[in-house]
Amino acid sequence: MAPISKECDFLVIGIGSGGLAAARRASGQWGAKTIAIESNRLGGTCVNVGCVPKKITWNAAAIAETLHEAKPYGFNIKEVAPFDYKTFKHKRDEYVKKLNDIYARNLAKDKVEYIHGRASLLSKNEVEVRLDDGGKETIRAKKILLATGGHPNIPKIEGAELGITSDGFFDLETMPKRVALVGAGYIAVEMAGMFHHLGSETHLFIRHENFLRPFDPMIQEKIITEYERQGIIIHRNSSQSKVERGDKEGWLKFHYTDKSTPEGAGSVMDIDCLLWAIGRSPEVSDLGLANAGVKQDERGHIIADDYQNTNIDHIYSLGDVCGKIELTPVAIAAGRQLANRLFGGPDYANAKLDYDNIPSVVFAHPEVGSIGLSEPAAIEKYGKENIKTYKTDFTAMYYAMMPAGEKGPTSYKIVCLGQEERVVGLHILGQGSAEMLQGFGVAVKMGARKRDFDACVAIHPTSAEELVTMK
């Protein structure tokens, strides 16, 4: 075994959002000697191939949508050149690189020692780091945090490697002419919307009748109907059998079946981009978990409790590698609370993240927001007789000037429990839902009742006022 080259109080493996938050809090606020190890770019999935570049691209798609919707308001906008995706992409890359640099400076500011390399557990308190120059270091740590995140899955079918994943989406230099996306989660739905509004013929392949299936049925039904109205082609009950290179350079032949395929037959589509969005797996393949005895679940996720403890004393884990709630703000909050508990003294001895009522948003077109239980989940948990829902569908004033066939939907649902009608679920779809949900999320987190919503005077004219005037 190599000699110990460094020792520390807190060793963080994986400097995505959660690892970064934990390392900075432990060192910067509590003075723990902290070493952070990352083998890729600082910031993890969110900053590099997730939330940040995704939202920038969504903004571009939303601008394209607005330009289309401007004519009914009296604007006659002449497009003198097509959308310059290549220039947009490079500016987006520059912004992400700037964030990478900011994170490096923040680590230095908080006196976190940063090592770029690939880490693997040797035991419950020792880690080997394979450095970029081929060298190795062995670090002994009193406490270790595993926050290595995850990676996109690719199916086991012939030619699957010819497609890209959500990571590869951000490497595209041009928008494809015809794209096939496979998946039914929020990544597939978001990217389908972006491709479509930026000019690609967009085909979305899903295994069942609806997508976003963990969300409330209202959300599922409304968003899939709206996507079809906009011109996104949904292939329901689909499966894929093979991908091969096409007759033209850069094109593929995509073999599939869907609801419309005759029994015993198959279909082939020529596409110039295939994107797999079929889920993610934890980044643990060479982490050395067995060397320390760290337990995993059947999908490979590290098992950690609500305090981020693994089954091994002094080894902790959080974020996507645990597979609990795979959202950036969840990892950040969990990381800060863990650092508080480990190094903040008696006042923080029981610090942990409360995993109940965490708001989430899908940046679809239109946006979707959700917090708490869906109506079916609430009924399953509390019984149908104890649940009352309030629901409204309407056309937002933004669409007042538009022809009937071009008006987008707005739908809200409040799920209430018991005689006091405590709000246990809130589900919204429509323009501005992301920003709107953050404020209403505070109310739900505080245990607001329907009558508390009703007692708030409406802001008029807004879509949000419907949430405080619903009957």
The answer, yes or no, to whether residue 333 has pLDDT greater than 60, is yes
Neighbours of 230 (CB within 10 A): 17
Confidence band for 263, pLDDT divided at 50, 70 and 90: confident
Task: Work out whether strand 136-146 and strand 126-131 pair parallel, antiparallel, or are unpaired.
Answer: antiparallel
- Average pLDDT in the chain: 97
CB burial class (10 A; 0-12, 13-18, 19+) of residue 395?
Answer: middle
DSSP string covering 284-303:
-TTS-HHHHT--B-TTSPBP
Overall average pLDDT of the 158-185 stretch: 97
The answer, yes or no, to whether residue 20 has pLDDT greater than 80, is yes
- In contact, 35 and 113? CB cutoff 8 Å: yes
How many residues comprise the chain? 471
| Predicted pLDDT at 354 | 97
Overall average pLDDT of the 375-400 stretch: 98
Give residue-wise pLDDT tens across range 45-77: 999 999 999 999 999 999 999 999 999 999 999
Neighbours of 180 (CB within 10 A): 29
Neighbours of 133 (CB within 10 A): 7
Q: Give me the percent of the chain exceeding a pLDDT of 90.
A: 97
The answer, yes or no, to whether residue 291 has pLDDT greater than 60, is yes
Give the Cα separation of 345 and 166 in Å (integer): 41
Q: How far, in whole angstroms, is CA 247 from its chain's centroid? A: 35
- Inter-CA distances, 48 with 41, 44, 157, 426, Å: 7, 6, 28, 30
The answer, yes or no, to whether residue 2 has pLDDT greater than 90, is no
The dihedral through the CA atoms of 427, 431, 437, 443 has a sign that is negative
| Predicted pLDDT at 4 | 84
The answer, yes or no, to whether residue 440 has pLDDT greater than 60, is yes
Question: Two tokens at 300?
Answer: 């490979």
| Predicted pLDDT at 69 | 94
Overall average pLDDT of the 348-360 stretch: 97
Crossing angle between the packed helical segments 186-197 and 217-230, to the nearest 10 degrees: 20
Neighbours of 153 (CB within 10 A): 15
- In the three-class reduction of DSSP (H, G, I as helix; E, B as strand; rest coil), residue 445 is classed as helix
The answer, yes or no, to whether residue 1 has pLDDT greater than 70, is no
Give the Cα separation of 322 and 453 in Å (integer): 35
Q: Give me the percent of the chain exceeding a pLDDT of 70.
A: 100
Give the Cα separation of 376 and 86 in Å (integer): 44
Question: Two tokens at 176?
Answer: 């494809």
| Predicted pLDDT at 144 | 98
Q: How far, in whole angstroms, is CA 41 from its chain's centroid? A: 18
Neighbours of 310 (CB within 10 A): 24
pTM of the predicted protein model: 0.95
Q: Is 196 a catalytic residue?
A: no
The answer, yes or no, to whether residue 197 has pLDDT greater than 60, is yes
| Predicted pLDDT at 264 | 83
Confidence band for 471, pLDDT divided at 50, 70 and 90: very high
Overall average pLDDT of the 238-247 stretch: 96
Of residues 224, 222, 215, 225, the one with CA closest to residue 411: 222
Overall average pLDDT of the 288-296 stretch: 98
Give residue-wise pLDDT tens across range 86-114: 999 999 999 999 999 999 999 999 999 99
